[in-house]
């Protein structure tokens, strides 16, 4: 039992299976786990007491897919021919960035992106790093930056054979070594990651499946984000992307497929039948003009869907709003997807993507105390048990995040980082970005 913290006088949205909401409620955590929750006052006050008057308390939001190093490209003016499709985006932007990344960049981007996500209400991310010239030690650097701000991370090196098979082998070894090094870490865990099926052969996929099973860790892969992935598999194997991954044994409840934009009914059935999970990245999909993932159809088929940012906009509220609206636009149906489904993606859905639904994703007694306090004082209409869900999707943003707790420890206090100075994060990030931009240009 650690120090007791109580948040009192708040409107609590548990995001549990029953969508329990408590007006004028409290939540208490002893150490790193939620111990008590209800209406009125706690039986025992905490050593740390947070007044939640006028506030909404929600579980820490989960970023089911990201690339932390993407933050270093904010505002960059690259001297490139403007891309006209997704393959050119990779060739002209992201692959050159990957090759220019250093270990220092891995650390700086983890520090900066973790800080950005925490300040916007996300307490757990799943990241894949892709730096062919900075493989060994990269994941430890990412873990160090993440720990400094107090966030949780699931970290992996993104294996690819884009240059040669040796590159994939080194990425595989880095991932395995890192996974074993963080087995007891309270904040950081590891997973196995493959870039995409169009940049690897069958052997490394099968090897990854086997090793992930031995280590008991999840797996992730970019899946039919752009048509380049689908066409590659059709031309090389006579299979659609998900069909190939199914043949190779990659699908299953411990696998999270990122994107799944260009998937058909047969592929969605395979995802559903194998209980494979999907990370939806609507803002990134719009940015790269790759299309709209058929998420409403996936939900109809009972597929677990989490919400990611793919390394672009780290505010989960913006990503939720995009998920709410893009499917309505694509379908022409203004009721195509509801706020409950979207909020579920950012909470329990994200937790289920990595087998963590018993630990995080909702506010329930016994779960980890990953808690976000939203300042509701500026909400323009009544904020109550009935209206709060609408406000979470239509009114609140990351700017309204006042306090954040991870494993019961306060990491954001009154909108500022609690464990490291915001000034230090900005300084480290800007210096790293300046150096990276110089190398790219």
Burial grade of 252 (CB within 10 A; 0-12, 13-18, 19 or more): middle
User: Which CATH number describes the domain made up of 61-353?
Assistant: 3.20.20.140
Measured between alpha carbons, how far is 324 from 395 in angstroms, rounded to an integer? 13
Provide the phi-psi class of 230: left if phi over 0, else alpha when psi is between -120 and 50, else beta: alpha
* Per-residue model confidence as pLDDT tens digits over 219-254: 999 999 999 999 999 999 999 999 999 999 999 999
For residue 422, the model assigns a pLDDT of 97
Where does CATH 2.30.40.10 sit in the chain?
A: 4-59+359-417
Mean pLDDT to the nearest integer, 149-162: 97
For the cut 90, the answer to whether the pLDDT of residue 65 exceeds it is yes
For residue 105, the model assigns a pLDDT of 98
For residue 195, the model assigns a pLDDT of 97
For the cut 70, the answer to whether the pLDDT of residue 1 exceeds it is no
Q: What percentage of the chain exceeds 90 in pLDDT?
A: 97
Burial grade of 209 (CB within 10 A; 0-12, 13-18, 19 or more): buried
Closest C-alpha among 303, 180, 151, 168 to residue 242: 303
For residue 115, the model assigns a pLDDT of 98
Measured between alpha carbons, how far is 263 from 281 in angstroms, rounded to an integer? 15
For residue 43, the model assigns a pLDDT of 85
At 408, is the pLDDT very low, low, confident or very high (cuts 50, 70, 90)? very high
Where does CATH 3.20.20.140 sit in the chain?
A: 61-353
Measured between alpha carbons, how far is 225 from 255 in angstroms, rounded to an integer? 16
For the cut 90, the answer to whether the pLDDT of residue 411 exceeds it is yes
Measured between alpha carbons, how far is 347 from 349 in angstroms, rounded to an integer? 5
Q: If you search the block for the tokens 């006028």, which residue do you land on?
A: 54
For residue 441, the model assigns a pLDDT of 85
Measured between alpha carbons, how far is 314 from 149 in angstroms, rounded to an integer? 15
Burial grade of 104 (CB within 10 A; 0-12, 13-18, 19 or more): middle
For residue 45, the model assigns a pLDDT of 84
Contacts of 52 (CB under 8 A, 6+ apart): 7, 8, 9, 10, 11, 26, 373
Q: Say if CB 412 and CB 84 are below 8 A apart.
A: no
User: Does 4-59+359-417 carry CATH code 3.40.50.150?
Assistant: no
Mean pLDDT to the nearest integer, 108-121: 98
* Per-residue model confidence as pLDDT tens digits over 296-347: 999 999 999 999 999 999 999 999 999 999 999 999 999 999 999 999 999 9
Measured between alpha carbons, how far is 325 from 323 in angstroms, rounded to an integer? 6
For the cut 80, the answer to whether the pLDDT of residue 268 exceeds it is yes
Number of C-beta neighbours around residue 13 at 10 A: 25
For residue 3, the model assigns a pLDDT of 87
At 383, is the pLDDT very low, low, confident or very high (cuts 50, 70, 90)? very high
Extract the tokens encoding 248: 């190779």
Q: What percentage of the chain exceeds 70 in pLDDT?
A: 100
Number of C-beta neighbours around residue 76 at 10 A: 13
Q: Say if CB 280 and CB 342 are below 8 A apart.
A: no
At 2, is the pLDDT very low, low, confident or very high (cuts 50, 70, 90)? confident
* Per-residue model confidence as pLDDT tens digits over 32-63: 999 999 999 898 888 899 999 999 999 999 99
Q: Say if CB 209 and CB 248 are below 8 A apart.
A: yes
Q: If you search the block for the tokens 């786990």, which residue do you land on?
A: 33
SS (H, E, C) the chain: CCCEEEEEEEEEECCCCCCCEEEEEEEEEECCEEEEEEECCCCCCCCEEEECCCEEEEECEEEEEECHHHHHHCCCCCCCCCCCCHHHHHHHHHHHHHHHCCHHHHHHHHHHHHHHHHHCCEEEEEEEECCCCCCCCHHHHHHHHHHHHCCEEEEEEEECCCCCHHHHHHHHHHHHHHHHHCCCCCCEEECEEEEEHHHCCHHHHHHHHHHHHHHCCCEEEEECCCHHHHHHHHHHHCCCHHHHHHHCCCCCCCEEEEECCCCCHHHHHHHHHCCCEEEECHHHHHHCCCCCCCHHHHHHCCCCEEECCCCCCCCHHHHHHHHHHHHHHHHCCCCCCCHHHHHHHHHHHHHHHCCCCCCCCCCCCCCECCEEEEECCCCCCCCCCCCHHHHHHHCCCHHHEEEEEECCEEEEECCEECCCCHHHHHHHHHHHHHHHHHHHC
Q: Say if CB 363 and CB 74 are below 8 A apart.
A: no
Q: Say if CB 409 and CB 29 are below 8 A apart.
A: no
* Per-residue model confidence as pLDDT tens digits over 125-140: 999 999 999 999 999 9
* Positive or negative torsion for Cα 71, 75, 77, 82: positive
Mean pLDDT to the nearest integer, 374-394: 97
Q: Say if CB 127 and CB 67 are below 8 A apart.
A: yes
Which letter, b or e, does each residue of 17-27 get, where b requires 16 or more Cβ atoms within 10 Å of its Cβ?
A: eeeebbeebbb
For the cut 70, the answer to whether the pLDDT of residue 425 exceeds it is yes
């Amino acid at each position: 039992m650690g120090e007791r913290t109580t948040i009192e006088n708040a409107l609590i949205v548990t995001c549990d299976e029953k969508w329990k909401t408590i007006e004028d409620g409290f939540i208490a955590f002893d150490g790193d786990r939620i111990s008590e929750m209800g209406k009125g006052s706690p039986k025992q006050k905490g050593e740390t007491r947070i007044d939640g008057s006028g506030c909404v308390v929600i579980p820490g939001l989960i970023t089911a897919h990201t690339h932390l190093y993407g933050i270093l490209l904010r505002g960059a003016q690259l001297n490139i021919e403007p891309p006209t499709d997704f393959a050119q985006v990779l060739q002209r932007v992201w692959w050159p960035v990957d090759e220019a990344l250093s270990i220092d960049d891995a650390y700086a981007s983890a520090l900066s992106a973790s800080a950005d996500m925490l300040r916007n209400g996300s307490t757990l991310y799943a990241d894949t790093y892709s730096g062919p010239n900075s493989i060994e030690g990269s994941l430890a650097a990412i873990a160090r930056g993440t720990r400094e701000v107090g966030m949780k991370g699931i970290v992996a090196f993104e294996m690819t054979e884009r240059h040669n098979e040796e590159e994939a082998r080194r990425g595989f070894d880095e991932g395995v070594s890192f996974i074993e090094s963080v087995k007891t870490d309270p904040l950081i865990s590891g997973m196995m990651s493959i870039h995409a099926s169009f940049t690897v052969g069958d052997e490394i996929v099968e090897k990854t499946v086997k090793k992930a099973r031995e280590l008991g860790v999840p797996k992730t892969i970019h899946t039919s984000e752009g048509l380049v992935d689908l066409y590659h598999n059709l031309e090389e194997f006579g299979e659609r992307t998900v069909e190939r991954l199914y043949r190779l044994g990659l699908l299953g409840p411990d696998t999270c497929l990122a994107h799944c934009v260009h998937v058909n009914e047969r592929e969605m059935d395979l995802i559903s039948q194998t209980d494979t999970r999907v990370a939806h990245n609507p803002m990134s999909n719009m940015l790269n003009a790759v299309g709209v993932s058929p998420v409403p159809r996936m939900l109809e088929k009972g597929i677990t869907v989490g919400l990611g940012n793919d390394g672009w906009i780290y505010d989960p509220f913006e990503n939720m709003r995009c998920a709410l609206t893009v499917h309505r636009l694509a379908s022409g149906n203004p009721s195509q997807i509801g706020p409950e489904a979207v909020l579920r993606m950012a909470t329990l859905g994200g937790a289920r993507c990595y087998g963590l639904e018993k630990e995080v994703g909702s506010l329930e007694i016994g779960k980890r105390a990953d808690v976000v306090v939203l300042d509701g004082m500026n909400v323009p209409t009544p904020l109550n048990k009935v209206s709060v869900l609408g406000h979470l999707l239509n009114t609140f943003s990351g700017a309204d995040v006042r306090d954040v707790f991870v494993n019961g420890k306060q990491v954001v206090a009154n909108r500022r980082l609690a464990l490291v100075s915001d000034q230090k994060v900005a300084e480290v990030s800007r210096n790293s970005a300046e150096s990276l931009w110089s190398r790219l240009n």
